[in-house]
Amino acid sequence: MPWVDFLRSAAAIVLGPRIGKYRKNGEVNAIPGHNLPLAAIGAFILWFGWFGFNPGSTLGAVGNWELIGTVATNTFLASAAGGISTMFYTYFRYGQIDITMTINGVLAGLVAITAGCNVVGPNAAIIIGLIAGVLVDIAVLYIDKLKIDDPVGAIAVHGVNGFFGAIAVGLFATDGGLFFGGGTAMLATQALGVLVIGAFGFVFTFILMKIMQKTVGIRISKVEESAGIDAVSFGVEAYSTFE
């Protein structure tokens, strides 16, 4: 999963930020979503769907059906822990709970546990989720400082926590993990795999996006962006009262 967001980060760099995202003095201008209830519903749909995604992709469960229960349990524990840790972290850091970041905390927990959901124990799943919930907030702020416009925090959620989740396998796997007496062999393998795939994906996508930018183009005009793609492409505004 992390390799997808190495591609996304390369594309975001070449595409550039939205108009008004960064001020001339370098400060970040937050562009909030228009409907938090819909964002929360979307998160719950993703959360529910993950219980089909993780258990359903556990091919080793054929003939070992109790493994599906383990995968589902770990998936829930990590995602819930991710949301909870983000709530506490944002409360003590900003003085109030950040709802949008809490949504990303749940998703970060889901992403982080995906790689190891069938090889770690429930306690490890909780720890992985707790770390992911804090890591996603730190990553969002860092990516913004790099002037990479990531509107929904997808690079932080999937890229950073996907990377962490893959590394966590080498740390928490009950059979071969570093914290369970397995040494560093699995950890090194996981790290090498993520780095190689990530580097290839980033470089290939960056080059491809640059070629597209110079030929067919990858961005609409400033006038079209200001008007809204819905109005330009379909002749109607999705939010007629939104200014």
Which of 235, 169, 155, 243 minimizes the C-alpha distance to 198? 155
- Answer yes or no: is 242 within a domain: no
* Containing structural domain, residue 203: 2-234
- Answer yes or no: is 104 within a domain: yes
- Answer yes or no: is 144 within a domain: yes
pLDDT at position 243: 59
pLDDT at position 45: 96
- Answer yes or no: is 243 within a domain: no
Give Cα separations from 46 to 41, 53, 97, 126, 151 (angstroms).
9, 10, 21, 19, 18
- Answer yes or no: is 230 within a domain: yes
- Answer yes or no: is 158 within a domain: yes
Number of domains in the chain: 1
Q: Given its phi and psi angles, is residue 131 left (phi above 0), alpha (psi -120 to 50 degrees) or beta? A: alpha
pTM, full prediction:
0.92
In the chain (243 residues long), the average pLDDT of successive 10-residue segments reads 68 92 86 88 95 81 79 96 98 96 97 95 98 97 92 91 96 96 96 92 93 94 87 83 64
